[in-house]
Every structure is written in C-alpha cells, then in structure tokens.
C-alpha cells in the first residue's frame, strides 16, 4: 500500500496539476489582490533572500507538491511522508528547489537570490552568501557602502507592521517578533559604541500587499527616528531601495543593528563574517 501511495503522489498527472497550481499562485495578481499579500513579482525577490537561504520558500513548495497541506498533513498515515518532503534530496524538495530556481531564472536573473540558487546546494550557506555574493558586489561598488563611523539600523517595514499597528500597542507595549518596541531600541543604544554618534536607518515599506497602506511603516520609522534624535544621534534616512542593494549595504556595515526577520538576521551573519560588529539585543534577528 505504501508503494501505491508513493506512486500516486508522483504520478505525471499529479505533478502537472501541481505545477499549474504553483504557477497560478506565483503569477496571478488576483490571488494576491484577494489575500492582500505581497505583489507576485516583487514578492518573490523582495526580502526573499532570507526565504531562499533559510529554505522556507523551497520547503513550502515541497509541502504543496507533496500534498502536505492541512488537513492532509495532520493525518497519521501522512506524517512520515510529510516529514520527508522537506529533506534535501527528496523528490518533492527537488521540485520545490527547481521551481524556485526556475522563477528566479525567469524573473530575477542577476539577483542575489538567483545567484545563490546557482552556487549553493543547501540552506544557510553563509559562506556562499557572504563571502562570495556580498563581497563581490561590495568590491564592485565601494562608493555605495555605508561609512565606517555610523551605525546602520535595519527596520522590518511593510506587511507585519501594517497589521500590528492597527490592532496592538506596539511602541510602548510588548515587543513583537519582527517589529520592535521602544525598549528594544533603548537596550540597543546602551550597547552602541560611545564614540559613534551617527545612525543610518534603512528599510522598505514596499514589502506589503497591493491594497495595504504604508501608514504603519511611516508611524514606526518616525518613532525610531525621534528616539535616536532625542538620544543625541545624527540620523540619516535611506528608504525603499532594491532588496539586493539594501542587503549588500547592511552586510557591509562596520556596526549593524538588526531588528526582526530572516533578512536582517542573515545580514548580521555577514557583518560578523566580515569582522564587523552586530549589536546583539535580546529578541533581535538571529537572537532567538
């Protein structure tokens, strides 16, 4: 029975149906309009550096291809199968990897995500990401890198903040996974090197749904700017650049403060590998 079920899961007709479904989800604007999620083109690569490197995007597609979606994935008979689909080398994992690679080949040639998929063969390969892809771009455009006498701060703007800012008390309330509160930044300031008095804040509010406003992002970044200024720092703003440009900029900082999300966490890892200083604050990206 197990062999029959496995054959059914990889039958050509099922694979064709899966491919058509994934293409629909990836390229149909109505899908994204209906859910209010990220633009189908921008969404694949805007901040997708994190989703590519940590395998989230590949694993999600592998689960879809292997029919491991609720409520099917919760069935006892499917448990072992659904645990296996995200293992590198599994047929469905290869389908997920191939599909993500194909989309990037088609839409995003020359990007960090595209090149990572070509050079790396596993998730979290920071050697490829930081030592090859970031370094090559930084050496090519040194004039576009941050000054060494400034602290670069990355804010995770867009989707999460637009939802949370309407329904929760963010700034003076509880810290959130990707959107940080006042206390987080106060703890960060306590860790800043005393000789550095310049802060560069960067982020992109484009990482949001078609129908979503950016009111939350503007509110959040103004709160952060006001706090740094009131703490005696000169603040420079750098908003809504391309994700690859932002990533190389962050990863090349001498001093870097991430907030939340895998994108900032990976930039922090690159800063560390380049012998820079990632400012560690409890609850920040990469801190657990």
| pLDDT tens-digit readout, 30-49 | 444 444 444 444 444 444 67
Using one digit for the tens of pLDDT, what is the confidence trace for 75-127?
Answer: 777 888 888 998 988 999 998 888 888 877 877 788 898 899 899 978 889 99
Give the model's pLDDT for residue 4: 37
Q: Indicate which CATH number applies to the domain containing 166.
A: 3.40.50
Local confidence band at 287 (pLDDT 50, 70, 90 cut-offs):
low
Report the pLDDT value the prediction gives residue 167, as an integer from 0 to 100: 65
Is 287 a member of any domain?
no
- Same domain? For 164 and 104 the reply is no
Residue 13 lies in a domain: yes
**What gap in Å lies between CA 39 and CA 37, rounded to an integer?**
7
Last residue of a domain, one of 95, 123, 151: 123
Residue 208 and residue 109 share a domain: no
Residue 54 has pLDDT above 80, yes or no: yes
21 and 149 housed in the same domain: no
- For residue 38, the Cα-to-chain-centroid distance in whole angstroms is 13
Structure confidence at residue 269 (pLDDT)? 95
Residues 80 and 30 in one domain: yes
**Does residue 82 belong to any structural domain of this protein?**
yes
Mean pLDDT of the chain: 81
Query: Pick from 91, 123, 155: which residue ends a domain?
Result: 123
Smallest Cα–Cα separation from 264: which of 123, 154, 133? Answer: 154
**Which structure tokens are listed for 46?**
């805007």
Which has more confidence, 52 or 276?
Answer: 276
> What pLDDT is attached to residue 46?
42
Q: What is the extent of the structural domain holding 231?
A: 142-278
Residues 61, 183, single domain; the answer is: no
Please tell me whether residues 191 and 265 are part of one structural domain: yes
Tokens (6 digits) for 267: 């930039």
Q: Evaluate if residue 187 carries a pLDDT over 90.
A: yes
Number of domains into which the chain is organized:
2
- Say whether both 192 and 80 belong to one domain: no
Q: Which two tokens stand for residue 245?
A: 């440009």
Contacting residues for 128 by C-beta, under 8 A, at least 6 apart: 116, 119, 120
Share of the chain above pLDDT 70, in %: 78
- Tell me: do 210 and 90 sit in the same domain: no
Angle (CA) 226-228-233 rounded to 5° is 125
42 domain residue, yes or no: no
E-strand stretches of the chain: 151-154, 198-203, 234-239, 255-257, 277-278
The pLDDT > 90 percentage for the chain reads: 39
Residue 64 pLDDT exceeds 90: no
Give the pLDDT of residue 53. 87
Which of 138-152, 205-219, 258-272 is predicted with the least confidence, judged by mean pLDDT? Answer: 205-219
Span 168-192, average pLDDT: 88
Q: Which of 153-157, 168-172, 210-214 has the highest mean pLDDT?
A: 153-157
Mark whether 98 and 189 lie in a shared domain.
Answer: no
Check residue 223 and give its pLDDT. Answer: 94
Residues 113-160 pLDDT 10s:
889 989 997 888 999 999 999 999 999 999 999 999 999 999 988 877
Q: What b/e sequence results for 68-106 when a residue is b if at least 16 CB atoms lie within 10 Å of its CB, and e otherwise?
A: beeeebeeeebeebbebbbeeebbbbebbbebbbebbee
- pLDDT of 44: 44
Same domain, 163 and 116: no
With 60 as the cut, is the pLDDT of residue 270 above it? Answer: yes
194 within domain boundaries: yes
In a domain, 149, yes or no: yes
Most confident of 99-113, 204-218, 266-280: 266-280
User: Is residue 49 in a domain?
Assistant: no
CA distance 225 to 218: 10
Q: Helix-strand-coil percent breakdown of the chain, rounded to 5?
A: 55, 10, 35
Residues 66 and 150 in one domain: no
According to DSSP, residue 146 is labeled P
Are the beta carbons of 113 and 45 closer than 8 angstroms? yes
Mean pLDDT of 193-215: 82
- The answer to whether residue 129 is domain-embedded is no
Q: Is the same domain home to 110 and 154?
A: no
């Amino acid at each position: 029975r197990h062999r029959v079920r496995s054959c059914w899961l990889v039958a050509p007709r099922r694979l064709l149906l899966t491919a058509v479904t994934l293409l629909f989800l990836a390229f149909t604007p109505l899908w994204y309009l209906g859910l209010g999620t990220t633009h189908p083109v921008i969404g694949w690569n805007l901040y997708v550096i994190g989703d590519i490197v940590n395998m989230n995007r590949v694993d999600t597609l592998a689960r879809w291809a292997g029919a491991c979606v609720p409520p099917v994935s919760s069935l006892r008979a499917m448990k072992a199968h659904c645990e296996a689909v995200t293992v590198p080398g599994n047929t469905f994992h290869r389908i997920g990897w191939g599909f993500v690679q194909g989309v990037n080949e088609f839409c995003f040639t020359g990007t960090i995500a595209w090149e990572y998929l070509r050079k790396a063969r596993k998730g979290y390969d920071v050697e490829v990401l930081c030592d090859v892809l970031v370094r090559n771009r930084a050496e090519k455009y040194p004039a576009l890198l941050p000054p060494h006498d400034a602290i670069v701060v990355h804010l995770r703007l867009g989707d999460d903040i637009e939802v949370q800012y309407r329904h929760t008390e963010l700034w003076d309330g509880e810290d959130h996974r990707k959107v940080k509160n006042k206390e987080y930044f106060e703890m960060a300031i306590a860790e800043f090197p005393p000789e550095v008095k310049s802060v560069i804040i960067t982020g992109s509010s484009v990482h949001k749904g078609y129908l979503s406003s950016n009111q939350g992002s503007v509110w959040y970044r103004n709160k952060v700017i006001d706090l740094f200024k009131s703490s005696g720092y000169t603040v420079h703003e750098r908003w809504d650049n391309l994700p690859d440009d932002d990533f190389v900029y962050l990863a090349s900082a001498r001093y870097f403060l991430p907030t939340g999300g895998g994108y900032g966490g990976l930039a922090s890892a690159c800063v560390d590998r380049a012998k820079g200083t990632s400012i560690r604050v409890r609850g920040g990206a990469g801190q657990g």
